[in-house]
Amino acid sequence: MMRDFDDATRAQIEAARPDASTWLTANAGSGKTRVLTDRVARLLLDDVEPQHILCLTYTKAAASEMQNRLFKRLGEWAMLKDKALRDALADLGVQGELAPEQLRNARTLFARAIETPGGLKIQTIHSFCAALLRRFPLEAQVSPQFTEIEDRASDLLRAEIVDEMAEGEDAPLVADIARHYTGEDFASLTRSIVGQRDAFTEARSWAEILALLDQPEDLTEGSIAGSVFLGSEAAMMSEIIPHLLAKGGNDGKAGAALQEIDRY
């Protein structure tokens, strides 16, 4: 059965073809999850066993949404009459006249997916990797009893470490970072550090750090200030600040903040 699709729908159907390797990129809310769900449904229609299909997502929410959408669609197919089922499969991109046997097969997909040992594998990358590690703990040199840390627990653990550093011998280091860091807290900073921890395995000299960041060897705080300020900023600020303070509100707060700067 041939159907007339608009360009966007035709592109989605093409991307969902199970016989082609596809790299899909699109904005949020543009239908990526639908395309992936359609692709899995078409694989099942092509008699691929559910246990041979693996879908990986970044988040648990995305995995849950995709699984719910797929099971909802397969469940609907199981209840549709022949004409409605043919239309639904045509909307999916299935071409040609469908034999009664193909329709019966489509109606059994929900039960087959539900009854698959271990369930249809739609999971996060983290959970998939964790399953591999648990199957081969000796080869991976990890304890088979390990557990994955949740994002919230990870944030709290890093915050505790920063607190311990701030109250111990490393307090000057934390204070020095705080003097330069403009974020509200260290959560995003420590998360980035942990994500790039391999870069911190070796201590590097100041010269090596400058080279890595493609900065001149004679870079100093004074040279940075000299490249930014022209020398006339103090006079300009002395004229602006009184007006900001007089206006009050957010302008007054800005004026007070500018007053605290000891040099320009």
Q: How confident is the model at residue 40 (pLDDT cuts 50, 70, 90)?
A: very high
Same domain for 246 and 196, yes or no, is: no
The identity of residue 132, as a single letter, is L
Rounded Cα gap, residues 105 and 100, in angstroms: 9
Residue range 156-201, pLDDT digits in tens: 999 999 999 999 999 999 898 888 887 677 888 898 888 888 888 8
**Last residue in a domain, options 122, 140, 158:** 140
Q: What is the CATH number of the domain that holds 30?
A: 3.40.50.300
Same domain for 45 and 119, yes or no, is: yes
Under a CB-based contact definition with an 8 Å cutoff, are residues 85 and 105 in contact? no
Q: Is residue 29 part of a domain?
A: yes
Q: Identify the residue whose tokens are 């994955």.
A: 148
Residue 264's pLDDT is 61
Same domain for 23 and 136, yes or no, is: yes
Residue 31 scores a pLDDT above 70: yes
Same domain for 38 and 77, yes or no, is: yes
Q: Which two tokens stand for residue 224?
A: 């940075």
- DSSP classification of residue 90: H
Same domain for 232 and 182, yes or no, is: no
User: Could you tell me the sign of the dihedral formed by the alpha carbons of 124, 127, 133, 136, in that order?
Assistant: negative
- Torsion of Cα atoms, 57 then 63 then 68 then 74, to 10°: 40
Q: Name which residue leads in pLDDT, 5 or 54.
A: 54
**Last residue in a domain, options 108, 140, 172:** 140
What is the number of domains present in the chain? 3
CA angle, residues 9, 12, 16, in degrees to nearest 5: 140
Residue 126 scores a pLDDT above 60: yes
Which range of residues forms the domain containing residue 194?
150-201
Same domain for 31 and 126, yes or no, is: yes
Region 61-73: mean pLDDT is: 91
Same domain for 97 and 160, yes or no, is: no
Q: Is residue 240 part of a domain?
A: yes
Nearest residue to 70 (alpha-carbon basis) of 95, 103, 43: 43
Same domain for 133 and 155, yes or no, is: no
Same domain for 185 and 231, yes or no, is: no
Same domain for 60 and 124, yes or no, is: yes
- Span between the terminal Cα atoms of the chain, in Å: 74
Q: Is residue 207 part of a domain?
A: no
Q: Is residue 86 part of a domain?
A: yes
Same domain for 67 and 168, yes or no, is: no
